[in-house]
C-alpha cells in the first residue's frame, strides 16, 4: 500500500463527523491449529468482535459515523429495524444511550425463536431500548426493505407529533434511506480496510483474501472499495447469510456506488469483483443446523474463539468448505473477520445443545 494513498483516504474520511465507540485497531491473530488441521492456506482472524461496545461487533465501527450524523442533525431519538436477536439493534441501542439518544427498535420475528429476554434481547432490555416486535411471514429471509422503511417512517411521524426529533436508519446501517443519506456503514468499513492494510504492511504480511459474513452489505462494500482504493489485490469474499446472490448483489453494488460517489474517489468495481457465495445460507437466515453447531464447537475447541450462530458460523462454514474445495492456494493467506454477534449464542442454547448432545 502506498502511504500517500492511505493518507488521502484518511483525510477524506476525517471530513465526516465521528464519535468514539470502538477500541481500535482490533487485533489480528493467526488461527494456527485450524490452518494446520485444514492443511490449506494460512488463516488469520481479525477480532472485530472485540470492539468493546456491548460485547462488540462490526456495527460499533459503523455507529461511530451514524451516531455522529444523528447528533449533527439534532436528533434525540433513533429508530431502526432488524430481526429479533439482532446484533445491529443491540449495538445501536448501546451506542445511542451512551450518546444521549433514545433507541426505538422494531424487531421482526424472521426466524423460529420465541420472544425471550435472552441473548441480545436481554441486553436490549437492560439498556432500555424501546422494543416493538412484529410478526413476518418471510421466515428465514431478511425483512423487505421498502416495507420496513415505510413502517419506520410512520413511527417517526408519531414521534414528531410528540415533539421528538427522530433519526431513521436502515438495518445494519448499510443502505441509504431514512435520515442516513450517505453510506456511513460502508464508510466505516473502508476505514477498517485502511486499518487492516496498515496492520499488515511489511514484508510477507499481506493477505490474499478476506472472508466475511455478508448480511446487509456495508461491511463487504466498504472493504471492497477500500481495498481497490488502496491498490491492494486482496479478494473480498462475502458469505451470504440471508439473501440469495441474485437479490443481494445489486444491494451491495448500490452501496459500493454510493460510497464511491460520496468519497469522490476514482475506483471502478466490476460486478465480478463482488464475490458472494450463497450456498451456505442452507435452510435460511438464522436457521441453526448441525453444521452450525459443529463449526462453533470446532473453532472453540481448536482456537478458543467463540463464533455466533447466525453470521460468523456460516462464514466459517463457507471458509472451511472453500479450503476443502481447493479455492485457495497453499501459499495464500486468508483473513477471516470475526464480525461479532456472540450474545445471540445464548438465545439459541436449547437448539445448540439438542444438536450436539
Ligand atoms: C455478527 C454479524 N456479522 C456480520 C454481519 C453482516 O454485516 P453487514 O450487515 O454489513 O453485511 C452482521 C449484520 O448484519 C452481524 O451482526
CB-ligand 1 contact for 341 (6 Å cutoff): yes
* pLDDT confidence band for 88 (50 / 70 / 90): very high
Q: Could you tell me if residue 168 is inside a domain?
A: yes
Cα–Cα nearest to 187, from 237, 262, 91, 238 = 262
Q: Could you tell me if residue 39 is inside a domain?
A: yes
Are 233 and 163 in the same domain? no
Residue range 42-46: mean pLDDT, rounded: 98
Q: Could you tell me if residue 106 is inside a domain?
A: yes
Q: Which of residues 173, 195, 220 is at a domain's end?
A: 173
Atom of ligand 1 nearest to the CA of 340: 1
Position 3 scores a pLDDT of 62
Q: Could you tell me if residue 42 is inside a domain?
A: yes
- Is the pLDDT at 264 greater than 90? The verdict is yes
Residue range 23-47: mean pLDDT, rounded: 97
pTM of the full predicted structure? Answer: 0.97
Query: What integer best gives the mean pLDDT of the chain?
Result: 95
Q: Please give the distance, rounded to the nearest whole angstrom, from the Cα atom of residue 215 to the centre of ligand 1.
A: 5
Report how many domains make up the chain: 2
CB-ligand 1 contact for 311 (6 Å cutoff): yes
Atom of ligand 1 nearest to the CA of 82: 14
Are 326 and 190 in the same domain? yes
Q: pLDDT by residue (tens digit) across 205-248?
A: 899 999 999 999 999 999 999 999 999 999 999 999 999 999 99
Residue range 106-131: mean pLDDT, rounded: 93
Q: Please give the distance, rounded to the nearest whole angstrom, from the Cα atom of residue 161 to the centre of ligand 1.
A: 33
Position 2 scores a pLDDT of 56
CB-ligand 1 contact for 214 (6 Å cutoff): yes
CATH code assigned at 152: 3.40.50.1100
Q: Name every residue whose Cβ is closer than 8 Å to that of residue 93 and which is 6 or more positions away in sequence.
A: 54, 103, 105, 123, 124, 127, 129
- Is the pLDDT at 203 greater than 80? The verdict is no
Position 8 scores a pLDDT of 87
Are 46 and 73 in the same domain? no
Residues 243 and 279 sit within 8 Å (Cβ to Cβ): no
Q: Please give the distance, rounded to the nearest whole angstrom, from the Cα atom of residue 109 to the centre of ligand 1.
A: 17
d(Cα 83, Cα 72) in Å, to the nearest integer?
28
Q: Which of residues 116, 144, 173 is at a domain's end?
A: 173
Q: pLDDT by residue (tens digit) across 175-197?
A: 999 999 999 999 999 999 999 99
Are 9 and 72 in the same domain? no
Q: Could you tell me if residue 238 is inside a domain?
A: yes
Cell numbers linked to 33 = 491449529
Are 212 and 333 in the same domain? yes
CB-ligand 1 contact for 57 (6 Å cutoff): yes
Q: pLDDT by residue (tens digit) across 287-307?
A: 999 999 999 999 999 999 999
- Is the pLDDT at 113 greater than 90? The verdict is no
Are 349 and 287 in the same domain? yes
Q: pLDDT by residue (tens digit) across 158-176?
A: 999 999 999 999 999 999 9
Are 36 and 69 in the same domain? no
- Is the pLDDT at 204 greater than 90? The verdict is no
Residue range 262-266: mean pLDDT, rounded: 93
Cα within 13 Å of Cα(303), Cβ side = 22
Could you list the residue range(s) of the whole structural domain that residue 205 is in?
A: 3-57+183-356
Position 53 scores a pLDDT of 98
Are 163 and 233 in the same domain? no
Position 135 scores a pLDDT of 85
d(Cα 182, Cα 179) in Å, to the nearest integer?
9
Asked if 86 is an active-site residue, the reply is yes
Q: Please give the distance, rounded to the nearest whole angstrom, from the Cα atom of residue 214 to the centre of ligand 1.
A: 6
> Count of CB atoms within 10 A of residue 289's CB?
15
- Is the pLDDT at 200 greater than 60? The verdict is yes
Are 208 and 327 in the same domain? yes
CB-ligand 1 contact for 240 (6 Å cutoff): no
Atom of ligand 1 nearest to the CA of 57: 1
CB-ligand 1 contact for 173 (6 Å cutoff): no
Residue range 254-268: mean pLDDT, rounded: 96
CB-ligand 1 contact for 58 (6 Å cutoff): yes
* The one catalytic residue among 86, 170, 242, 313: 86
Are 282 and 151 in the same domain? no
- Is the pLDDT at 330 greater than 80? The verdict is yes
d(Cα 256, Cα 179) in Å, to the nearest integer?
19
CB-ligand 1 contact for 87 (6 Å cutoff): yes
Q: Could you tell me if residue 178 is inside a domain?
A: no
Task: Name which residue sits closest to atom 12 of ligand 1, judged by CA.
Answer: 215
Q: Which of residues 150, 173, 196 is at a domain's end?
A: 173
Are 277 and 314 in the same domain? yes
Q: Could you tell me if residue 155 is inside a domain?
A: yes
Atom of ligand 1 nearest to the CA of 185: 10
Are 208 and 343 in the same domain? yes
Task: Name which residue sits closest to atom 14 of ligand 1, judged by CA.
Answer: 215
Least confident range from 35-49, 89-103, 199-213, 335-349: namely 199-213
Amino acid at each position: 500500500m502506498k502511504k500517500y494513498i492511505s493518507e488521502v483516504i484518511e483525510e477524506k474520511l476525517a471530513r465526516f463527523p465521528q464519535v468514539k465507540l470502538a477500541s481500535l485497531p482490533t487485533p489480528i491473530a493467526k488461527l494456527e491449529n485450524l490452518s494446520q488441521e485444514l492443511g490449506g492456506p494460512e488463516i488469520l482472524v481479525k477480532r472485530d468482535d472485540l470492539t468493546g461496545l456491548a460485547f462488540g461487533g462490526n456495527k460499533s465501527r459503523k455507529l461511530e459515523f451514524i451516531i455522529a450524523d444523528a447528533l449533527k442533525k439534532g436528533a434525540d431519538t433513533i429508530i431502526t429495524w432488524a430481526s429479533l436477536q439482532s446484533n445491529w439493534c443491540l449495538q445501536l441501542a448501546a451506542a445511542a444511550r451512551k450518546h444521549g439518544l433514545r433507541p426505538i427498535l422494531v424487531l421482526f420475528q424472521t426466524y423460529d425463536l420465541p420472544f425471550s429476554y435472552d441473548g441480545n434481547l436481554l441486553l436490549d432490555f437492560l439498556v432500555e431500548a424501546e422494543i416493538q416486535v412484529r410478526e413476518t411471514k418471510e421466515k428465514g429471509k431478511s425483512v423487505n426493505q421498502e416495507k420496513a422503511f415505510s413502517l419506520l417512517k410512520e413511527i417517526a411521524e408519531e414521534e414528531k407529533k410528540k415533539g421528538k426529533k427522530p433519526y431513521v436508519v436502515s438495518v445494519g446501517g448499510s443502505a441509504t434511506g431514512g435520515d442516513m443519506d450517505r453510506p456511513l456503514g460502508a464508510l466505516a468499513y473502508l476505514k477498517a480496510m485502511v486499518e487492516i492494510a496498515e496492520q499488515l504492511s511489511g514484508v510477507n504480511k499481506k493477505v490474499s483474501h478476506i472472508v466475511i459474513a455478508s448480511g446487509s452489505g456495508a461491511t463487504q462494500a466498504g472493504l471492497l472499495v477500500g481495498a481497490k482504493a488502496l491498490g491492494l489485490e486482496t479478494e473480498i469474499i462475502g458469505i451470504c447469510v440471508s439473501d440469495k446472490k441474485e437479490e443481494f448483489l445489486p444491494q451491495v453494488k448500490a452501496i459500493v456506488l454510493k460510497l464511491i460517489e460520496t468519497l469522490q474517489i476514482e475506483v471502478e468495481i466490476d460486478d465480478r469483483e463482488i464475490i458472494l457465495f450463497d450456498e451456505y445460507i442452507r435452510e435460511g437466515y438464522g436457521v441453526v443446523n448441525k453444521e452450525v453447531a459443529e463449526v462453533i464447537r470446532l473453532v472453540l475447541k481448536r482456537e478458543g474463539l467463540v463464533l455466533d450462530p447466525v453470521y460468523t458460523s456460516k462464514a466459517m462454514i463457507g471458509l472451511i468448505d472453500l479450503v476443502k474445495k481447493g479455492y485457495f492456494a497453499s501459499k495464500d493467506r486468508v483473513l477471516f473477520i470475526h464480525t461479532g454477534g456472540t450474545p445471540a449464542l445464548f438465545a439459541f442454547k436449547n437448539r445448540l445443545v439438542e444438536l450436539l448432545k
